[in-house]
Amino acid sequence: MSVTYEGMTFDEFISAEEIQQMVQDVARRIAEDYAGKQPLLICVLHGAMFFTTDLMRALPMDCTLASVHLQSYDGTSSTGQVRESKPLEADIRDKDVIVVEDIVDAGITMHYFKQVLMARQPRSLKVAALLSKPSELKFEDAKPDYVGREIPKKFVIGYGFDINEYARNLPSIYALRENG
């Protein structure tokens, strides 16, 4: 199946069922690593909203939730800068923090945000990303600790991923058709 936004065609890339398997897989790895702990999940809005709610419900241990709104993309490409339009209000000192991100691309967002968080002295800090594009990574420290799936360089929408704020509500993930 395919969908069209802003004159561009996107083909189904990861089905809703496959996404749920990826989420369960990430949750299982986190559950193993955080046994006996009560992690604080920080949802990076808005992209990671859907992943965060599904991931949190799949975690067996007590955990808490906070959010931050970071933006680095305009349309289908990165602006190269991170805008913090809703700062993090939670106190993270001495907490086991897991940042929940939709996708790590060049790593600009996570490189920036991890520095912001480390300055606030969490007990531990890890990043869970539903997707990552390893070929595009420019900051080694932005590499996620948990990844649902590594993908090639593609622009994706659906399940939280947007094109200029649209398409987040598609249940599957779609990839931009090359030369389409």
The answer to whether residue 67 forms part of the interface with ligand IMP (CB under 6 A) is no
**Of residues 126, 62, 120, the one with CA closest to residue 97:** 126
The residue annotated as part of the active site, out of 74, 105, 141, 145, is 105
Alpha-carbon span 69 to 77, nearest angstrom = 18
Judged by CB under 6 A, the residue of 58, 106, 126, 143 near ligand IMP is 106
Of the candidates 27, 108, 125, 147, which one interacts with ligand IMP according to CB under 6 A? 108
Identify any residues that bridge with 97 across adjacent strands, giving them in sequence order.
40, 125
- Give 37 or 176: the residue with its C-beta nearer to ligand IMP: 176
- The pair of structure tokens assigned to 78 is 């990165």
CA nearest to 110, candidates 134, 76, 79, 144: 144
Is position 148 an interface residue for ligand IMP (rule: CB under 6 A)?
A: no
Task: For the CB of residue 79, give the shortest distance to Mg ion in the complex, in Å.
Answer: 12
Site string for ligand IMP, 12-41 (x = CB under 6 A): ------------------------------
Q: 171: Cβ–Cβ under 8 A, 6 or more apart, which residues? A: 16, 158, 159
Instruction: State yes or no: is 105 an active-site residue.
Output: yes
Please say which residue, 20 or 78, places its beta carbon nearer to ligand IMP. Answer: 78
Closer to ligand IMP at the Cβ: 9 or 72?
Answer: 72
Strands of 124-132's sheet in order across: 77-86, 64-74, 40-45, 96-104, 124-132, 146-150
> Residue 22 has what DSSP assignment?
H
122 or 160: CB nearest Mg ion: 160
Specify the DSSP element, H or E, that contains 118: helix 108-118
Three-state DSSP at 61 gives coil
> Could you say whether residue 73 binds ligand IMP (CB under 6 A)?
yes
Return residues touching ligand IMP (CB under 6 A): 44, 47, 72-73, 78, 101-109, 155-156, 161
Which residues have a catalytic role annotated? 105
